[in-house]
Copies of this chain bind each other. A is one copy, B any other.
Amino acid sequence: MNVDAVWREHLDRQAITDLIHAYCWHFDMNEPVALAALLTLDACVDYGPEFPDLQGREAIGQAVAKGLETLFAATSHHVSNIRITLDGPDEARSDCYLYAWHRYRDGRPESELWGRYHHRFRRTPDGWRIAGLVLKAAGARDFHRSVMHPIGRRD
């Protein structure tokens, strides 16, 4: 492996990590337009089996905006355990852990989620963007959704 390749890969990993953090930041700041700008035009998001997959930047942005405006009064999405795999020069995937806290507009109890984000990324002329996202749950407390994709733990 040559030094140039190492540093290019390092910069890609840093950009991808910043992208994951930017998604959380804009979600928690109720900035759905800025969040949508992190996505590819054809991005696909799967927040769980209760809903059909969200297809395309515009549909995802609208769905996130609706949730942020009608459901949540405050949220905090803490990600960790990030593992990134580069698939060629312009594609990447990652798995990370999510610990999320939520307060609701209607005053129901605050909730916590111990989850996973599975991301796909693509390099565009404007830089790395999120091309795919699947949310899974190891567990939850008082979460507003009763059915989530399981993480696939062996019984």
A residues whose Cβ falls under 8 Å from a Cβ of B? 3-4, 6-7, 10-11, 18, 21-22, 24-25, 28-31, 74-83, 95, 97, 99, 101, 103, 110, 114, 138-139, 141, 151-155
Contact = CB atoms under 8 A, between A and B. Distances in A.
A153 B97 CA distance: 23
A105 to B, nearest CB: 10
B24 A74 contact: no
Given A78-B81, A99-B99, A154 B7 contact: no
6 contacts: A24-B81, A25-B83, A28-B151, A77-B81, A77-B97, A101-B139
B83 A30 contact: no
A77 B114 CA distance: 9
B29 A153 contact: yes
* Most B Cβ at <10 Å: residue of A4, A114, A138: A114
A97 B24 contact: yes
Contacts of A114: 76, 78, 101
Contact of A154 (B30, B80, B83, B95): B30
B83 A21 contact: yes
A148 to B, nearest CB: 12
